[in-house]
């Protein structure tokens, strides 16, 4: 019997520029011009070469391109991102689209429980990226601030060398608190996102929003995090108290969904006994059996603005405002209602 490995045979050789040139019936130099999108080839030749490249499955050698660009721009944007919550992944999707439209590629490096900012940034250094976009960690002093064009997504940094693209946490939290207060809620809890800059900002703006309604004494903040587990732990804390709050605002949709589920499983009704608001307007918030009220961000727009700003810095364009702040909106769905009367 012939083994499965033997049946597969030798691996297919990767197509080269020479292969594409032979297939298209042109010189290797002309193929290089077309692949690099450089001037010097007619439209008909470009079409023939690109068709040959597609038929052969040719892909440019990124390492060779980097060496060739060593003295100029790499057309690469480094991206550091976290792996919790859906917002980062929605922004990543938008970054890929926006970068491709501008002729750039992304080089990714993830943050994990055992891999922090230093390791994530160091793994990108060999790629000689032109600019860096950080979707995390939301630190006050990014390691590469002032060393490369740097754009943070979601928070601002007190450094003139760092640009930022974010929504207004003040407006977002005001929308959420206003919505609840208009429905009679006074005992409102905010489950925060931990110790990062974004969490700190939303925590402060929650207290400010409650203060604006004369409810500072009723405001309560519970330590949470970015994940559903941390949302569940916060929900257990509230369930262990003698009386539930009438409303909860989660740091993100993942946290809010976990809180909602914990309440429902304990026998509490949402929104009749307790209202729940999330943050991000993620896909899960829109599911028919969830229909979570949530503060909406616009990941594709945020991503486009971040890429445009990074490239503007790379190309030396004049920038008048380094902190781009977008207005959020509140998506009102099934998880908020009139406050209960005890």
Angle made by CA atoms 59, 64, 70, in degrees to the nearest 5: 135
CA–CA separation, 304 vs 175, rounded Å? 25
What lies within 8 Å, CB to CB, of 131 at 6+ separation is 77, 78, 148, 149, 150, 151, 310, 311, 313, 314
Closest alpha carbon to 198 in 136, 143, 154, 253: 154
Band of pLDDT at residue 127, cut at 50, 70 and 90:
confident
Residue 172 has pLDDT above 70, yes or no: yes
Cα distances (Å, whole numbers) of residue 151 to 57, 104, 135, 160: 35, 16, 9, 11
The pLDDT assigned to 8 comes to 47
pLDDT of residue 4: 46
Which residues, including other chains, have CB under 8 Å from residue 35's CB and lie 6 or more apart? 17, 20, 49, 53, 60
How much of the chain exceeds pLDDT 70, in percent? Answer: 92
pLDDT at 188 over 90: yes
Q: Do 291 and 333 form a contact (C-beta atoms < 8 A)?
A: yes
- Alpha-carbon distance 85 to 231, whole Å? 12
Residue 111 confidence (pLDDT) above 70:
yes
pLDDT, tens only, 67-108: 445 446 778 999 999 876 789 999 999 999 999 999 999 999
State residue 311's pLDDT score: 96
Asked if 219 and 190 count as a contact pair (C-beta separation under 8 A), the reply is yes
Q: Region 195-200: what's the mean pLDDT?
A: 95
pLDDT at 2: 44
Retrieve residue 325's tokens.
């702040």
Contact 277, 294 (CB under 8 A): yes
How high is the pLDDT of residue 71?
47
Q: What is the mean pLDDT of residues 172-183?
A: 98
Across all residues in the chain, what is the average pLDDT?
A: 91
| H or E segment and range at residue 151 | strand 150-153
Give me the half-sphere count of Cα atoms (radius 13 Å) on the Cβ side of residue 142. Answer: 33
Contacts of residue 288, defined as CB under 8 A and 6 or more positions apart, other chains included, come to none
d(CA 92, CA 136): 12
Are the beta carbons of 92 and 70 closer than 8 angstroms?
A: no
196-to-79, 135, 167, 202, 339 alpha-carbon distances in Å: 18, 12, 16, 10, 31
Per-residue pLDDT of 19-70, as tens digits, reads 899 999 998 888 888 887 777 788 889 899 999 988 888 876 655 555 445 4
Structure token pair of residue 225? 């995090």
The pLDDT of residue 128: 82
pLDDT at 185: 98
Proportion of the chain above pLDDT 90, given as a percent: 75
Q: Is the dihedral of CA 91, 177, 139, 120 positive or negative?
A: negative
- Domains parsed from the chain with CATH numbers: 13-60 (1.10.260.40), 76-166+299-323 (3.40.50.2300), 169-298 (3.40.50.2300)
More confident: 308 or 86: 308
Cβ proximity of 164 and 157 under 8 Å? yes
pLDDT digits (tens, 9 = 90+) for 130-164: 999 999 999 999 999 999 999 999 999 999 999 99
> What pLDDT was estimated at residue 63?
54
pLDDT at 36: 72
* Poorest-pLDDT segment among 118-122, 167-171, 246-250, 323-327: 118-122
- Residue 194 confidence (pLDDT) above 90: yes
Separation in Å, CA 249 to CA 105, 205, 272, 274: 37, 12, 16, 11
Q: Does pTM top 0.85 for this prediction?
A: no
Q: How far apart are CA 138 and CA 196, in angstroms?
A: 5
φ, ψ at 105 (rounded to 5°): -120, 155
CA 301 to chain centre: 11
Place of tokens 């995090």: 225
Q: What's the whole-number mean pLDDT along residues 271-292?
A: 96
């Amino acid at each position: 019997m012939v083994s499965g490995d033997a049946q597969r045979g030798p691996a297919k050789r990767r197509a080269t520029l020479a292969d594409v040139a032979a297939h298209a019936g042109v010189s290797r130099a002309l193929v290089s011009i077309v692949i690099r999108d450089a001037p010097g080839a007619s439209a008909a030749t470009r079409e023939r070469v690109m068709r040959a490249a597609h038929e052969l499955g040719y892909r440019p050698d990124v390492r060779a391109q980097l060496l060739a660009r060593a003295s100029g721009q790499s057309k690469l944007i480094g991206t550091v991102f976290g792996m919790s919550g859906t917002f980062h992944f929605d922004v990543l999707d938008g970054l890929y689209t926006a970068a491709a439209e501008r002729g750039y590629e992304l080089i990714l490096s993830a943050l994990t429980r055992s891999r922090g900012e230093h390791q994530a940034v160091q793994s990108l250094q060999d790629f000689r990226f032109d600019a860096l976009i950080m979707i995390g960690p939301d630190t006050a002093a990014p390691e590469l601030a002032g060393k490369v064009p740097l754009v943070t997504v979601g928070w601002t940094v007190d450094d003139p060398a760092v640009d930022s693209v974010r929504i207004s946490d003040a407006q977002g939290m005001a929308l959420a608190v206003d919505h609840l207060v208009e429905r009679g809620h006074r005992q409102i809890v905010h489950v925060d996102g931990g110790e990062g800059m974004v969490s700190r900002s939303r925590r402060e703006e929650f207290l400010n929003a409650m203060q604006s309604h004369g409810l500072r004494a009723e405001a309560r903040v519970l330590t949470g995090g970015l994940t559903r587990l941390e949302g569940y732990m916060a929900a257990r804390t509230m369930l262990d108290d003698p009386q539930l709050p009438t409303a909860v605002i989660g740091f993100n949709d993942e946290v809010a969904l976990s809180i909602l589920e914990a309440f429902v499983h304990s026998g509490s009704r949402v929104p009749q006994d307790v209202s729940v608001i999330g943050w991000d307007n993620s896909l899960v918030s829109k599911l028919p059996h969830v229909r979570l009220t949530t503060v909406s961000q616009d990941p594709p727009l945020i991503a486009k603005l971040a890429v445009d700003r990074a490239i503007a810095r790379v190309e030396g364009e004049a920038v008048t405002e380094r902190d781009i702040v977008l207005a959020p909106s509140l998506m009102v769905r099934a998880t908020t209602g009139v406050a209960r009367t005890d």
